[in-house]
Amino acid sequence: MHYNLLIGGAAGQGIDTMAGILGKLLKKEGYAVLTTHDFMSRIRGGHNFTLIRFGDSPVYSHSMALDGLIALDDETVGLHIGELKPEGFILCDEKIKTDDGRAIKIPMAEMAKELGNPRVSGSIATGVLLKLFGLSLDGLEKIMAQELKEELLEINQKAYIQGYEKAEPRYEKLKADFAGHMIINGNRAIALGALAAGLRFYSAYPMSPSTTIMEFLASKSKELDVVVEQAEDEIAAINMALGASFAGAPAMTGTSGGGFSLMVEALGLSGIGEIPMVIANVQRPGPATGFPTRTEQSDLRFVIHASQGEFPRKVVALRNQEDAYRQTIRAFATAEKYRIPVILLSDQYLGDTSATIKPFSLPEEAPDPASENPQGEYKPYLLTENGISPRRYPGQTEELVNVDSDEHDEQGLITESAEMRIKMVDKRMNKLQGIVEELEEPEFLGSKDGDILLIGWGSTWGPIKEAVERLNRETPGYYGALVFGDIYPLPEKLLKEKAEKARLIINIEQNATGQLAGLIREKTGIVCTQSILKYDGRPISAEEIASRIREVTA
């Protein structure tokens, strides 16, 4: 069973702080929790909200079917009352304009004023919520210390207690056992994956929604001896990271689509120079500035084809928080082994959404490519059958380590030879054979015998997973889904097996053109029968997917 709450108000009313503390308290009580944010690109005013869904079983998707609406302003009631379940409640200040019989009106603003800080009304509301759901205040002080400045702890604790005393239990406390899990968002999972992979250098220019990767790494940089550089722009950021990687430091940069656009030429330098690079593109709607704080999956075709010329690369779509950690580690290993750029595709939804997951484990130590012992004279671009040349780090060897953005020979010296050009292009492209052999097939969800196949990628994993479970409860055995993580080169084996048995193939994507469906058609000839596309900047939910599947299969 799950409960679903929406906390809404204007920017600056403390919604994020309130949600952060509430989420951690729910996790401490053993609940599975998923928290996602919807916010405008402004510092004050407007309408923002956070959804907190929790219960006694894993939570894979957000939901707009609300058990509780916590309204910090009048606009929240007007916008979201239609999403409230008949048996739900509205928690608000007594001055909020609503005559709905489900409203629980408490003089939060007056209570906060008496406490001496009008901004603690959110803490009063949180105290009320804890009581409504039969939760205790145990551990509150410790969690508050993680979220609030020291000088604000005492007054907020008083606010929680006063709110707690204003309510009576309304919901039965569920028996759940997720207390041993951790709660983390996708961007932080990427950062931890990079650290676990041995990251030594991270450079980026702040760009929503990727900035929190850099912020977290910067907060740990001294403790973990990692260099984090805020560059003057994205061109500098990727070139700094390439320089660090060339010198032997595992390096990474992160951005969104607009920043990735500026990185394109340097992406080609990584390709021809065979300099390992990991790039996180946390997508948002474009083109240009687009929707800076919203979500979309519209950069797939772009990152696959970015930069002039032809060279091998790998593109990985991150499906959930656990996947973000694991695939980031794997991206570093692949980049180092094949000396290629690896692009991680996330998006605002996954980047900013927190979920309870099992604690991460550290990977086995990967071999250092520089420890290989080449025969004879060292050649940085030695022609090999698999395309992988031995690697050395300048300044850490007596051997000469050349690199060049021009076409070059095995020693790394510029060449105009047509014969050498062909050999070098073939050498680089030969890496694809090994990359393809190491591809992971998409994750299969649902009924193995179903003849309706859903196809998605990246952060649609959670909503698709829950939608398939819902649909199979209604019509057992009809629905299955493939959700791609490794997405370029495209894994084809499982796709072909499932597509052959499917009566309908429906792609579910957060873009306007069905980019994955187009890629699948291009590479395999498989054509999706129907498309469910969403591109309004808001994440697609399990309810939306299930509803639209019912429409197209009716």
3-state class (DSSP) for residue 59: coil
How many CB atoms lie under 10 A from the CB of residue 521?
A: 14
Q: Around 205, how many Cα atoms within 13 Å sit in the side-chain half-sphere?
A: 18
**Does 174 fall in a domain?**
no
In a shared domain, residues 155 and 265: no
In a shared domain, residues 270 and 217: yes
**Phi, psi dihedral angles at 276 (to 5 degrees):** -60, 140
**Does 64 fall in a domain?**
yes
Report d(CA 463, CA 221) in Å as an integer. 35
In the DSSP assignment, the letter for residue 192 is H
Highest mean pLDDT among 10-14, 96-100, 410-414: 410-414
Beta bridge mates, 445: 481
- Write the secondary structure of 421-440 as one string of H (helix), E (strand) and C (coil): HHHHHHHHHCHHHHHHHCCC
Residue 502 belongs to a domain with what CATH number?
3.40.50.920
**Does 16 fall in a domain?**
yes
Q: Please say which residue of 313, 329, 357 terminates a domain.
A: 357
**Does 200 fall in a domain?**
yes
Give tens-digit pLDDT for 266-321: 999 999 999 999 999 999 999 999 999 999 999 999 999 999 999 999 999 999 99
In a shared domain, residues 348 and 210: yes
In a shared domain, residues 160 and 199: no
- Tell me the Cα Rg of the chain: 25
Residue 371: band (very low, low, confident or very high) from pLDDT cuts 50, 70, 90: low
Strands 2-11 and 45-55: antiparallel
**Does 369 fall in a domain?**
no
Ranges 20-24, 59-63, 485-489, 533-537: which has the least confidence: 20-24
Rounded mean pLDDT, 181-196 = 97
Global confidence as pTM:
0.95
Q: Please say which residue of 357, 382, 400 terminates a domain.
A: 357
Which residue's entry shows tokens 């207390």? 179
Which domain, by its residues, includes 25? 2-165
Rounded mean pLDDT, 82-109 = 92
Contact by Cβ (8 Å): 114, 162 = no
Rounded mean pLDDT, 450-463 = 97
Predicted local distance difference test score (pLDDT) of residue 320: 98
In a shared domain, residues 260 and 136: no
Rounded mean pLDDT, 496-522 = 97
Instruction: Indicate the number of domains in the chain.
Output: 4
Contact by Cβ (8 Å): 454, 479 = yes
In a shared domain, residues 450 and 428: no
In a shared domain, residues 433 and 494: no
Q: Please say which residue of 305, 322, 357 terminates a domain.
A: 357
Report d(CA 312, CA 328) in Å as an integer. 18
- Write the secondary structure of 144-174 as one string of H (helix), E (strand) and C (coil): HHHHCCHHHHHHHHHHHHHHHHCCCCCCCCC
Q: At residue 437, what is the residue type?
A: E
Predicted local distance difference test score (pLDDT) of residue 65: 95
**Does 368 fall in a domain?**
no
Element of type H or E holding 3:
strand 2-11
Predicted local distance difference test score (pLDDT) of residue 139: 80
Residue 102 belongs to a domain with what CATH number?
3.40.920.10
**Does 172 fall in a domain?**
no
Rounded mean pLDDT, 226-233 = 97
Predicted local distance difference test score (pLDDT) of residue 449: 87
Q: How many residues does the chain have?
A: 554
In a shared domain, residues 304 and 418: no
In a shared domain, residues 352 and 290: yes
**Does 176 fall in a domain?**
no
Report d(CA 301, CA 44) in Å as an integer. 35
Contact by Cβ (8 Å): 125, 118 = no
Report d(CA 69, CA 412) in Å as an integer. 63
**Phi, psi dihedral angles at 415 (to 5 degrees):** -135, 150
In a shared domain, residues 145 and 195: no
pLDDT over 90 at 150, yes or no: no
Element of type H or E holding 453:
strand 452-457
In a shared domain, residues 496 and 469: yes
Rounded mean pLDDT, 211-239 = 97
Q: Around 273, how many Cα atoms within 13 Å sit in the side-chain half-sphere?
A: 21
* Buried residues in 263-287 as b, exposed as e (16+ CB within 10 A): bbebbbbbbbbbbbbbbbbbbbbbe
In a shared domain, residues 87 and 68: yes
How many CB atoms lie under 10 A from the CB of residue 222?
A: 9
Residue 43: band (very low, low, confident or very high) from pLDDT cuts 50, 70, 90: low
Residue 482: band (very low, low, confident or very high) from pLDDT cuts 50, 70, 90: very high
Rounded mean pLDDT, 19-34 = 91
Report d(CA 519, CA 228) in Å as an integer. 36
Report d(CA 482, CA 468) in Å as an integer. 11
Rounded mean pLDDT, 400-424 = 96
**Phi, psi dihedral angles at 263 (to 5 degrees):** -85, -5
Report d(CA 48, CA 11) in Å as an integer. 6
